[in-house]
Amino acid sequence: MTHSRRDFLGSLARLAVAGAAVTLTPPILVSAAMAAQPNARRLCFEHTHTGKSLDIVYAVGDRYVPEALSKLNAFLCDHYSGRVGRMDPKLFDLLHRLRLTLGSKQPIQVVSAYRSPATNKELRRKGHGGVAKKSLHMEGKAIDLHIDGVSLADVRDAAQRFRKGGVGYYPGDGFVHVDTGPVRSW
């Protein structure tokens, strides 16, 4: 009887493991399921310097998706050094709202996002215009962007109406800066 009981328990354990394996959903299906939820917040990016793209659900309702935030941090890394910083999730909310307000289905074209202190210092040393000594890029609170098919002035105006941070307008360089710092514009 002990042998039968042991066999039974072993079979039960194998079934439990098999059942767990069957109920696991591949990550791509989880993302598709999350994207289908009406309260999912999704962003789509193309990076102008790396050539990479990312289309991701970063939040559902009032909850951020930790794996998505990690992927966004990696994607928006310092493209000069490869260093990964921690981006402010409120910046993603601002970008999501910006895309909705502008009615664009086009990816956000990333010119610059996280910037390490060493990179920031080097860019200032080389005389790159618009690189602040205490740049919010170093805190993961800023992004420079443009959206194909949307004028820079429209991006700037929409971002300024939100009053959720700083907005810099750089038409000569082809981008708008948005951040989650104090409300200001230049």
- pLDDT tens track, the chain, 186 positions: 445 545 544 444 443 333 333 333 344 444 666 666 779 999 999 999 999 999 999 999 999 999 999 999 999 999 999 999 999 999 999 999 999 999 999 999 999 999 999 999 999 998 876 788 999 999 999 999 999 999 999 999 999 999 999 999 999 999 999 999 999 999
What is the DSSP pairing of strand 142-147 with strand 40-47? Answer: unpaired
Q: What angle do CA 128, 131, 135 make, to 5 degrees?
A: 160
Do 157 and 120 meet the contact criterion of CB atoms below 8 Å apart? no
* Structure tokens, 180: 């989650």
